[in-house]
Structure 1
Amino acid sequence: MKNKKQLIITTLSLAIIIVSAVLSIRYLQVKPVSTATNTKTTETETYTDKELAKKTLTQNTASQTEKSAIEVPRVEPPAKPLEPTPDSTKQTQVRQAVSNEHIYYPLQTANDPGYASNWAIQKVNAPAAWDISTGNGQTVVAVIDTGFALNHDDLKNNWYLNSGENGNTIAGDNCWTGDPQNKATNSCDDDSNGYIDDYRGWNFSIGDNNPQAGRTNAYGVGVSHGTQTAGLVGAAGNNNTGIATINWNTKIMPLQVLSDDGPGYTSNVVAAVYYAVDNGADVINMSIGGSDYDADLKTATDYAYSHNVVVVAAAGNCGTGTEQGCTGLPAGTMGYPALNDHVISVGATTVSDQRASFSSYGPDLDIVAPGSGTINTTTWTPSNGTSLYTSSLSGTSFSSPQVASLVSLIKSIRPSSSADDITALILATSTKLSVMNGLPYTNEYGHGIINSNAALTVAASLNSISSIPKLLQSGGSVTEHRYASTDNLSSGCNTTIGTYCSIWFRDNSNGRERYLPYTLANQQGLTGWSWNGSFIPSSSWTIKAVQGDNRSNSYFLGVK
């Protein structure tokens, strides 16, 4: 899916520029909003749960009182990662195996206030999707980030709990001592996963079982970032508290890899990815980024893909090249892990459906989601860790978790689907924005903005399909496995009447992927698309008709 780019430093002066870019820490001004004294309008009508959520979505945020912004000074990262504590033999093993430590940062940028409080959830068509599903409470999204407000009112009931480290020990258990003990606090690795007492996630930055925000620096630059992304992934919905996100009922696995001050390292991020996969995550969200190709992290994200765990990552915040942390980088430069193969990379849009100026872009961008303006989500400060919400946020960091939330909602109705199937459902059901001028893909918007209702509609229909689609023509009347960017081409699918089909393209040289929109087959079982050769960059492509995990034989198309 992604072009594996590795930065080559050719001159000393260029090296200095790039190193300074990597070591620059991005910062964010957050306007926290307390709901401790929130006064909501009393409803006299009665509604179903879904109707109530749709009707009160604005009420739950509109009455929040805005406080002054908090600006945190930039800090330099430590010279090397902190040594882990003896609480995790597995984390120590991963750290020793990592070949080179790269630095990662929370992907943030400046505030861009001024939009209606609930515009983001409407833009992604979530209210309509809630008529299909609001989640089943069984999906798990691992959020790999800074620390978390573990006691926040809108999050505390949605944390993932490790069943192997909860409850009391009994005779025959791995850690039985003769008397029942609480597995969460018995200083023993009850489930033998290499982590002691990891009953609710893990703090890879410190090396223990407490991923609480603010433990090392309550005023650090990244201290609230993890709480904000977690809220956009899975704040509890329809609970008369705070906000609703796309999936009301998913579990969040809190994995801290970045310090309160912002930076984190390859070994911590890699260990967290392996932990997420090995401990039951369905989805991984990484609103973090670095500018260098990282072979160890690539191996980890490939491991996730091979286990059908969907990885979603923020594209980056170098849209103009002048943002903090982007000095010396070309405008639009995307970062890692978003550039890794089999990772869904996410850019940011505004309330007017424009690419946010800071949002990174290019031929490796997959999808966009709201990420600039009045993005309401949970947050944390030293004085309020239970009832605080943002009124304004900007960054691809806050677009990525919305996509992860949608992935988990799809998994709630299609639990056995593969990572490839989920990727197709996200990309091939997106809304094509007007600025895309009718094209199925552009470098600035990827496949378009996520459409929650369309994704769930197609996902639900695929559950009853068992037939294998047949790929019809993919090319043009004068092409035979060859194309030019100026050619007008077409593709077709022959399948069961009234079922959805898409066309999947994969670049054989660098892993980029493209999808034509999921479309219903007509009464003859046929559907087709017309497209221009510029839709797929000049390369060699494998093409298949797809319906979920059912895929046709391959066709190959190469550049003239």
Structure 2
Amino acid sequence: MRRYLSAITLALGLGIVLFPHHSNNENKPGPEVYSAKHETNSKLALLEQDVKLTDDLCRTQCSTDYSKVLSQIEAGEPAAQVLSAMKTQHEKMDLLIWSKTNQPMDQGIKAGEIPISYKEQANSYLIEAKRAADAGRHYQSPKFGAAQQVYFVQGMPSSAGDSSLVGVIHQDILHQVTDHQMKNLRLEPYPNENRWKVESVDTDTLQDKVVDHPEDNQGTSHYHQNEVVVKFKQNPTEAQLAQIKNEIKATSVQKLGYTYVFRTEGMEAKALMAYFGKWDVAYVEPHFLYLTNDYYDDQDADSTDSTDANSSDSNYSHGTVSTDTQTSSISPNFKPNDNLFSKYQWNLPSTETVQGWQLNRGAKDVVIAVVDTGVDLQHPDLKGQLLPGYNVIKDNDNPQDDVGHGTHVTGVIAALVNNNLGVAGMTWYNKVLPVKVLDQTGAGSTYSVAQGIIWAADHGAKVMNLSLGNYADSGFLHDAIKYAYDKDIALIAASGNDNTERPGYPAAYPEVFAVAASDSQNQKASFSNYGDYIGVTAPGVSIASTYPDNQYAALSGTSMASPHVTALAALIRSTNPNLKNTEVYQIMRDSARDLGTKGFDKYFGYGLIDVAKAIQLAEQRTSTAFTFPQNWFLPQRLMAKKFAK
């Protein structure tokens, strides 16, 4: 934690600004604007901003929760029962004390205990909180503690003024977000978690690469030392497979479709690749690791026991969209009452999402797969939004998120709207299919990612979010992408957070729609990867969304930009279910608001998504009434090569 804080202090001491100004003569941000030094300093300032915003989100939500408790007690519910229920729902509330005005705290009704190591400091703030609440004032203390043991004290008077609620709230989420963003924004080298035998290599040459500094992550890929992925031109016979296992002394063999993963303790990947040269193979490649664009520490967290996915709707049909997409209209001046919306969710007004809701708010039969770290299945702001999913890592039906990334991504897409709680998602009625392909370290193998994509494609997904990546072009992963694409699934992926033009995968595959990130000033996010494969841009800086354990966090990354576009694709398909995936892609391009240089550019693609305009175009177009030019759906870089003759 000390190294994080010192780095942040340095960045702030240098006066770093999060949103650098671009001159009128140079509206597009070029690589010279975001040098390695500037990029690192900007990321450090952004990390500090995300932590501060998460602190604000926590405090705002805790105030709402305290108001709820006091209202219940005033309505006649037993105080002890209400406090116990609130503490169960919010395990970060270490201590809650309800008491009458001017009644000593130790005579009040209590749930929980003060943390022993900070008892003296907490007690002094509790006294202040009680005094302020008795005087009719809301009170919040400064943070105190260190690392994962950070707390603040809150006090609130009842509306009648005859009682108050004070308590101690544990903010270990601030440590989680700090650690999260150090890796998410590639501010530290790829960490060997002692879980994988991992090599870091240059993607082009597969030569070993030492990753000592954040900028070394650009163009770096990671793979298992003792594994390879092999696709044979013809499946080997049992005898041939036995021969291979014997010759390489294989400890395990996995098969997905026509592709095999061989693991051995005696040979490393390069030797294994050379060995398979004598066999008739379509390809042999290292078994690459794919990471979220928010890489996490290994916390040795186990998933909870199997649980329902908060939804009784298990309709995976690819059929037409049901007519009950929207039960009522909303006024032109509608503003959702989610208590974190107005102050923190700059991203939805920026993308004309609220205006888009006037036209369409989604349809439950247009299923969105989130292929990620799983989802917090019990989060109250996702209640009823989740379909039964799959955990590839443990091969069970419990895709519980033990990282946080997938829960955050899902909230951007589908957090309940207008429920007086937390944040608002972009869709109201689309269901999310959670697929856990990344483990508690935030990493997953090519095999697990490919398996998750195929599973989601076979279980009703019409749109798929892939906020993960690697710089290695894997034939194995590409096969899975093609499988989903051929099933007419719209595939949306994050471009990456290394401020590099090097294509990352799966975002750069021609079947996938790649997303770059912008900030609240509609400038390129300093970390966002760029290139001629970018489709559009979406907000990706300090995005407020759901987080495990009934919490909310602000995170930055192209991982946060991608689900905005995924939600838009789902709204387009909800509006016009006859559109093919390629037509959905084109509508998002055609409706985007141009940023940077005029027309397509490598930093913003076709521009910032515009939800209202995209839905309007979807209403106007049908697959039979509109014809696109030949090869229009190919990425810009491929079109340039094709027509430059």
Structure 1 and Structure 2 fold alike (TM over 0.5): yes
Structure 1, residues 231-253: CA drift from partner, whole Å, max 9, x if none? 11211222222111221211111
Match among 63, 68, 72 for residue 174 of structure 2: 68
Amino acid at match of 1:137: K
1:119 aligns with 2:346: yes
1:38 aligns with 2:156: no
1:347 counterpart residue number: 516
Q: Are the counterparts in 1 of residues 372 and 437 from structure 2 also a CA contact under 8 Å?
A: yes
Q: Where do residues 50-199 of structure 1 align in structure 2 (5 Å cutoff)?
A: 68-70=174-176, 71-72=178-179, 74-76=191-193, 77-79=195-197, 93-94=256-257, 97-98=260-261, 100=285, 101-108=287-294, 117-160=344-387
Q: Are the counterparts in 1 of residues 532 and 636 from structure 2 also a CA contact under 8 Å?
A: no
Q: Are the counterparts in 2 of residues 203 and 255 from structure 1 also a CA contact under 8 Å?
A: yes
CA–CA distance in structure 2, aligned partners of residues 123 and 262 of structure 1:
30
Going from structure 1 to structure 2, the CA distance change for 1:40 and 1:250 (only over 3 Å counts) comes to farther
Match among 544, 569, 573 for residue 376 of structure 1: 544
Report deviation, 1:333.
2.5
Q: Are the counterparts in 2 of residues 147 and 260 from structure 1 also a CA contact under 8 Å?
A: no
Going from structure 1 to structure 2, the CA distance change for 1:109 and 1:454 (only over 3 Å counts) comes to farther
CA–CA distance in structure 2, aligned partners of residues 537 and 129 of structure 1:
31
CA–CA distance in structure 2, aligned partners of residues 304 and 147 of structure 1:
19
For residue 159 of structure 1, give the secondary structure of its aligned residue in structure 2. coil
1:301 counterpart residue number: 481
For residue 591 of structure 2, give the secondary structure of its aligned residue in structure 1. coil
2:417 counterpart residue number: 237
Q: Are the counterparts in 1 of residues 295 and 441 from structure 2 also a CA contact under 8 Å?
A: no
Q: Where do residues 143-542 of structure 1 align in structure 2 (5 Å cutoff)?
A: 143-160=370-387, 200-214=388-402, 223-319=403-499, 331-373=500-542, 375-380=543-548, 385=549, 387-390=550-553, 392-433=554-595, 435-436=596-597, 439-463=598-622, 467=625, 506=632, 511-513=634-636, 538-541=640-643
Going from structure 1 to structure 2, the CA distance change for 1:365 and 1:41 (only over 3 Å counts) comes to farther
Amino acid at match of 1:512: P
Q: Are the counterparts in 2 of residues 505 and 513 from structure 1 also a CA contact under 8 Å?
A: no
Q: TM-score normalized by structure 2?
A: 0.52
CA–CA distance in structure 1, aligned partners of residues 498 and 520 of structure 2:
20
CA–CA distance in structure 2, aligned partners of residues 365 and 337 of structure 1:
12
Structure 1, residues 90-121: CA drift from partner, whole Å, max 9, x if none? x96459635542101110389xxxx9512100
Q: How many residues align?
A: 361
Going from structure 1 to structure 2, the CA distance change for 1:504 and 1:366 (only over 3 Å counts) comes to farther
Amino acid at match of 2:532: P
RMSD, matched Cα: 3.2
Higher relative contact order (CA 8 A, sep 6+): 1
Report deviation, 1:305.
1.3
Report deviation, 1:505.
5.6
CA–CA distance in structure 1, aligned partners of residues 487 and 381 of structure 2:
30
For residue 277 of structure 1, give the secondary structure of its aligned residue in structure 2. helix
For residue 459 of structure 1, give the secondary structure of its aligned residue in structure 2. helix
Going from structure 1 to structure 2, the CA distance change for 1:505 and 1:40 (only over 3 Å counts) comes to farther
For residue 377 of structure 1, give the secondary structure of its aligned residue in structure 2. strand
For residue 465 of structure 2, give the secondary structure of its aligned residue in structure 1. strand
Q: Are the counterparts in 1 of residues 345 and 423 from structure 2 also a CA contact under 8 Å?
A: no
| Structure 1 residues not aligned, in runs of 5+ | 1-26, 43-62, 84-90, 161-199, 215-222, 320-330, 470-501, 515-535, 542-557
Going from structure 1 to structure 2, the CA distance change for 1:424 and 1:40 (only over 3 Å counts) comes to farther
Moved more, 69-78 or 254-263: 69-78
Going from structure 1 to structure 2, the CA distance change for 1:313 and 1:467 (only over 3 Å counts) comes to closer
Report deviation, 1:81.
11
Q: TM-score normalized by structure 1?
A: 0.59
Greater fraction of residues in helix: 2
Structure 1, residues 527-557: CA drift from partner, whole Å, max 9, x if none? xxxxxxxxx974223xxxxxxxxxxxxxxxx
For residue 442 of structure 2, give the secondary structure of its aligned residue in structure 1. coil
For residue 360 of structure 1, give the secondary structure of its aligned residue in structure 2. coil
Report deviation, 1:126.
0.3
Amino acid at match of 2:291: Y
CA–CA distance in structure 2, aligned partners of residues 310 and 203 of structure 1:
22
Percent identical pairs in the alignment equals 29
